[in-house]
Amino acid sequence: ELDQTVSTSDHSCSIEIFGQDAKDMTSFLADGSVDRMLGVNVVYFLDPLEEYMQEIHRVLAPNGGTVVFGCKFGAIKDSPYPFVNKEEAPIVEKMEAAGFDVTSNKIDLGNDMYNYVELKGIKRT
Protein backbone atom coordinates (compact mmCIF):
# COMPACT_ATOMS: atom_id res chain seq x y z
CA GLU A 1 0.00 0.00 0.00
CA LEU A 2 2.85 2.44 0.83
CA ASP A 3 4.57 1.72 -2.49
CA GLN A 4 1.34 2.42 -4.33
CA THR A 5 0.73 5.65 -2.39
CA VAL A 6 4.26 6.96 -2.98
CA SER A 7 4.32 5.96 -6.65
CA THR A 8 1.00 7.66 -7.42
CA SER A 9 1.56 10.86 -5.43
CA ASP A 10 1.75 14.18 -7.27
CA HIS A 11 4.88 15.34 -5.46
CA SER A 12 8.39 14.02 -5.27
CA CYS A 13 9.16 11.97 -2.20
CA SER A 14 12.44 10.75 -0.84
CA ILE A 15 12.57 8.03 1.80
CA GLU A 16 15.89 7.19 3.40
CA ILE A 17 16.57 4.55 6.04
CA PHE A 18 19.62 4.81 8.28
CA GLY A 19 20.98 2.13 10.59
CA GLN A 20 23.12 4.37 12.79
CA ASP A 21 22.35 5.43 16.34
CA ALA A 22 20.11 8.50 16.34
CA LYS A 23 21.83 10.02 19.37
CA ASP A 24 24.32 11.72 17.03
CA MET A 25 23.32 12.11 13.38
CA THR A 26 25.77 14.92 12.55
CA SER A 27 27.76 12.72 10.16
CA PHE A 28 24.80 12.11 7.87
CA LEU A 29 21.98 14.63 8.55
CA ALA A 30 22.26 18.43 8.49
CA ASP A 31 20.31 20.77 10.76
CA GLY A 32 16.68 21.09 9.65
CA SER A 33 17.10 18.61 6.78
CA VAL A 34 14.34 16.12 7.65
CA ASP A 35 10.61 16.71 7.18
CA ARG A 36 9.34 13.55 8.90
CA MET A 37 10.83 10.82 11.05
CA LEU A 38 9.21 7.53 12.09
CA GLY A 39 10.19 5.20 14.92
CA VAL A 40 8.15 2.06 15.59
CA ASN A 41 8.76 0.16 18.84
CA VAL A 42 12.01 2.05 19.36
CA VAL A 43 11.39 4.83 21.91
CA TYR A 44 11.60 2.31 24.77
CA PHE A 45 15.34 1.88 24.16
CA LEU A 46 16.44 5.53 23.74
CA ASP A 47 18.69 6.30 26.69
CA PRO A 48 19.09 9.03 27.72
CA LEU A 49 15.88 10.07 26.02
CA GLU A 50 16.64 13.80 26.40
CA GLU A 51 19.73 13.50 24.16
CA TYR A 52 17.80 11.66 21.46
CA MET A 53 14.98 14.20 21.53
CA GLN A 54 17.44 17.09 21.21
CA GLU A 55 19.13 15.44 18.22
CA ILE A 56 15.82 14.62 16.54
CA HIS A 57 14.77 18.23 17.10
CA ARG A 58 18.02 19.43 15.49
CA VAL A 59 17.57 17.46 12.25
CA LEU A 60 13.83 18.14 11.78
CA ALA A 61 12.75 21.03 9.58
CA PRO A 62 11.77 24.20 11.47
CA ASN A 63 8.12 24.98 12.14
CA GLY A 64 6.53 21.68 11.29
CA GLY A 65 9.12 18.91 11.09
CA THR A 66 7.41 15.85 12.56
CA VAL A 67 8.50 12.77 14.48
CA VAL A 68 6.06 9.91 15.04
CA PHE A 69 6.64 7.07 17.48
CA GLY A 70 4.45 3.96 17.35
CA CYS A 71 4.32 2.52 20.87
CA LYS A 72 2.81 -0.54 22.51
CA PHE A 73 3.11 0.44 26.16
CA GLY A 74 0.75 -2.31 27.33
CA ALA A 75 2.83 -5.01 25.66
CA ILE A 76 6.09 -3.95 27.32
CA LYS A 77 4.74 -3.13 30.78
CA ASP A 78 5.81 -6.39 32.43
CA SER A 79 8.42 -7.43 29.90
CA PRO A 80 11.78 -8.75 31.15
CA TYR A 81 13.61 -6.93 28.31
CA PRO A 82 15.72 -3.87 29.17
CA PHE A 83 13.17 -1.20 28.26
CA VAL A 84 14.09 2.19 29.68
CA ASN A 85 11.05 4.25 28.64
CA LYS A 86 7.95 2.24 29.55
CA GLU A 87 5.40 4.97 30.23
CA GLU A 88 3.82 7.51 27.92
CA ALA A 89 3.70 10.58 30.20
CA PRO A 90 7.46 10.93 30.84
CA ILE A 91 8.18 10.46 27.12
CA VAL A 92 5.69 13.19 26.22
CA GLU A 93 7.25 15.50 28.85
CA LYS A 94 10.73 15.00 27.40
CA MET A 95 9.50 15.54 23.85
CA GLU A 96 7.84 18.80 24.94
CA ALA A 97 10.97 19.91 26.81
CA ALA A 98 13.00 19.35 23.62
CA GLY A 99 10.74 21.73 21.67
CA PHE A 100 7.89 19.63 20.29
CA ASP A 101 4.14 20.10 20.41
CA VAL A 102 3.00 16.56 21.23
CA THR A 103 -0.22 14.71 20.60
CA SER A 104 -1.08 11.19 21.66
CA ASN A 105 -3.61 9.04 19.81
CA LYS A 106 -4.68 5.50 20.54
CA ILE A 107 -4.84 3.61 17.26
CA ASP A 108 -7.37 0.79 17.40
CA LEU A 109 -6.82 -1.81 14.69
CA GLY A 110 -9.50 -4.11 16.10
CA ASN A 111 -7.15 -6.43 17.96
CA ASP A 112 -5.23 -5.70 21.18
CA MET A 113 -2.20 -7.40 19.68
CA TYR A 114 -2.00 -4.75 16.92
CA ASN A 115 -3.33 -1.65 18.69
CA TYR A 116 -0.76 1.01 19.50
CA VAL A 117 -0.28 4.58 20.70
CA GLU A 118 0.88 7.18 18.21
CA LEU A 119 3.05 9.86 19.80
CA LYS A 120 3.43 12.70 17.32
CA GLY A 121 5.82 15.55 17.93
CA ILE A 122 5.77 18.66 15.73
CA LYS A 123 8.81 20.91 15.97
CA ARG A 124 7.89 24.35 17.24
CA THR A 125 10.90 26.31 15.92
17 vs 27, more confident:
27
Is pLDDT above 90 for 113? no
In this structure, are residues 43 and 116 in contact, taking their beta carbons and an 8 Å threshold?
A: no
Contact between 20 and 28 (Cβ < 8 Å): yes
- In this prediction, residue 11 carries a pLDDT of 61
**Strands 116-123 and 66-71, how do they pair?**
antiparallel
**For the whole model, what pTM was predicted?**
0.85
Look at residue 5 in the predicted model and tell me its pLDDT. Answer: 46
Measured N-to-C along each axis, helices 49-59 and 88-97 cross at an angle, to the nearest 10 degrees, of 50
Specify the higher pLDDT residue, 75 or 12: 75
Average pLDDT over every residue of 68-78:
90
Q: What is the pLDDT of residues 35-49, one digit of tens each?
A: 999 999 999 999 999
Over residues 86-95, the pLDDT tens digits come to 999 999 999 9
Amino acid letter, 40: V
- Peptide bond preceding 48: is omega within 30 degrees of 0, i.e. cis? yes
What is the phi/psi pair of residue 10, to 5°? -85, -10
Q: Is the pLDDT of residue 100 over 60?
A: yes
DSSP H helices, the chain, are 2-7, 49-59, 73-76, 88-97
Please name which of 122, 76, 74 lies closest in space to residue 99, comparing C-alpha atoms: 122
